[in-house]
Amino acid sequence: MDVAIIGAGLAGLACAHELERYDIKPTIYERNSYIGEQFSHVGALLELVDRPIVDSINYIKKEFNIEIMPLNIMNRLISYSPNRTYEVKGKLGYFTKRNKEPDDLKKQLYAQLNNTEVKFNEAGDYETLKEQYDFVVVANGAPSFAKELGCFNELFNGFVRGAVVLGEFDPHALLVWLDKDYCKNGYAYLAPFNAKKAFLGLVIPDVNESDADSYWELFKNAENLKYPVVEEFKINHISGFVYPHKVSNILFAGNAGGSMEPFLGFGVFNSIVMGVMAGKSIVTGLDYEDLLKDIVNKNKQKYQLRKLVNMATNKGYDNAFTVVSQPGIRQLIYNTSIDVVKHGANIVKFLTKNK
Ligand SMILES: Cc1cc2nc3c(=O)[nH]c(=O)nc-3n(C[C@H](O)[C@H](O)[C@H](O)COP(=O)(O)OP(=O)(O)OC[C@H]3O[C@@H](n4cnc5c(N)ncnc54)[C@H](O)[C@@H]3O)c2cc1C
């Protein structure tokens, strides 16, 4: 069976890995000359939003035989609303490295492939490839092709403004800021590479490119962040729902298939799962839509949460932080396996009351 994969990203590589498990040798078309990220950053995998899965890295190993070596364990989360600080400790998740170095997440997946051919510097076009191959997996990290085929419903269109900064950091701590004045309905965060270097990012919905720069300056000034910057970038961030995920012999996976969830814009876990499921569906004939139903349902729940958080004010954020700081509530959220996303709508309504 001949399978073409467009994009050597997380979804494309995970798909190739799954196909190889069934002795199929796919061909990946990658427009870049390398595997890895164009812009250096640190990705987070958060246990709280992955529930009922307790440990996403163990899950990926156990279910798909893909090994991921995290950059660090995350055991501290410090969140700032305009007038409150909230800190929680425990086994909260992982950090992953996203850049061009050998331990970058994509490079880790690539190193686990044996028979896949990667055609570097070749942009794949699904219209041509669908005639040449039995199946085409679109995993190009963007909704462009799903849009062309009328399968994309946009939910989020904004910018991520980011920088690699130098300073003194706890390598196990994620810092998050919520303030409508400079994040609108998004958020800002700091995720460390190590004790001396970190990624500082601002995710801002519904802004144009130059406004993204203004919000970035506003954020750094408001929080008095004066870290020296060694690298900077700004990229358009688009997420949405894709349906159907398969059109004739074309399957959408990863961001191209709507993997990026609409609550925080996380997509690592979903992209890997979607890539694997695309491979599984091709080999076994199982219905792709059926294989994706957990991801799709979870993303729908996260969209409901996102809509509620969008309605909160800064005062609502402060109220929420006061409530979650109570030991009983903190215990309930972090030291149990309660599915916070599933029950999220009620929790957010309760926490962000603007009285
Ligand atoms: C700054 C930033 C921070 C993020 N932080 C987090 C986080 O903390 N946690 C989290 O879970 N998620 C995070 N995400 C989202 C996550 O990184 C993505 O959801 C995930 O990488 C998507 O994987 P993918 O395989 O769909 O696409 P990608 O990993 O983007 O890979 C797509 C590949 O396709 C190639 N390509 C594109 N077009 C073509 C073409 N026509 N032909 C051939 N090749 C092509 C590209 O060069 C690329 O290699 C973040 C995203 C960004 C941008």
Asked if residues 8 and 106 have their Cβ atoms less than 8 Å apart, the reply is yes
Ligand 1 binding pocket includes 242 (Cβ within 6 Å): no
Cβ–Cβ < 8 Å for 273, 313 = no
237, 212, 123, 247: CA torsion to nearest 10:
30
CB 193 within 8 A of CB 97: yes
Backbone angles phi, psi at 277, to 5 degrees: -65, -35
Question: Domain segments of the chain: what residues?
Answer: 3-307, 313-351
pLDDT given at position 345 = 66
Q: What is the pLDDT of residue 215?
A: 97
The predicted model gives 69-98 an average pLDDT of 95
CATH 3.40.50.720 for domain 3-307, yes or no, is no
Higher pLDDT, 77 or 53: 77
Cα–ligand 1 centroid distance for 10 (angstroms): 7
Q: Name the residue with the closest Cα to ligand 1, atom 30.
A: 141
Per DSSP, the three-state class of 235 is: strand
Q: What is the pLDDT of residue 52?
A: 82
Q: Model-level pTM greater than 0.85? A: yes
Ligand 1 centre to CA of 36 (Å) is 9
Report pLDDT digits (tens) over 170-207. Answer: 999 999 999 999 999 999 999 999 999 999 999 999 89
**DSSP label at residue 228:** P
Ligand 1 pocket check for 30: Cβ under 6 Å: yes
- Pairing relation of β-strands 41-46 and 27-30? unpaired
List, in sequence order, the alpha helices (H) in 259-338. 268-284, 288-291, 293-311, 314-324, 327-334
Q: Is the CB of 266 under 6 A from ligand 1?
A: yes
- Which tops the pLDDT comparison, 296 or 345? 296
Assess whether pLDDT exceeds 60 at residue 355.
no
Summarised one tens digit per residue, pLDDT across range 279-289 is 999 999 999 99
Give the confidence band of 349 by pLDDT, cuts at 50, 70, 90.
low
Q: What is the mean pLDDT of the chain?
A: 93
Per residue in 315-344, pLDDT tens?
999 998 888 887 776 666 666 677 767 776
pLDDT score recorded for residue 332: 64
For 147-166, how does the pLDDT look when each residue is reduced to its tens digit (9 = 90+)?
999 999 998 899 999 999 99
CA 255/CA 223 separation, integer angstroms: 32
DSSP codes of every residue in 134-198? SEEEE-SSSSHHHHHTT-EEEEEEEEEEEEEEES---TTEEEEE--HHHHTTSEEEEEESSSSEE
The pLDDT, as a whole number, for residue 112 is: 98
Does ligand 1 come within 6 angstroms of the Cβ of 254? yes
What pLDDT is recorded for position 353? 64
Reduce the DSSP state of residue 124 to 3 states and report it: coil
The answer to whether the beta carbons of residues 130 and 212 sit under 8 Å apart is: no
Treating both helix axes as pointing N-terminal to C-terminal, what angle do 268-284 and 56-64 enclose, rounded to 10 degrees? 10
Closest among 183, 185, 176, 179 to 311, alpha carbons compared: 185
Task: Report the separation in Å between the CA atom of 210 and the middle of ligand 1, taken as the mean of its atom positions.
Answer: 23
How far is it, in rounded angstroms, from Cα 59 to Cα 268? 13
140 lines ligand 1 (CB under 6 A): yes
Give the tens place of pLDDT for each residue, 238-275: 989 999 999 999 999 999 999 999 989 999 999 999 99
Question: How remote is the CA of residue 202 from the centroid of ligand 1, in Å?
Answer: 17
User: Which of 31, 37, 107, 119 to mutate to test ligand 1, by most ligand atoms within 8 A of the CB atom?
Assistant: 31
For the chain, the residue count is: 355
Q: Do 21 and 45 touch, CB atoms closer than 8 A?
A: no
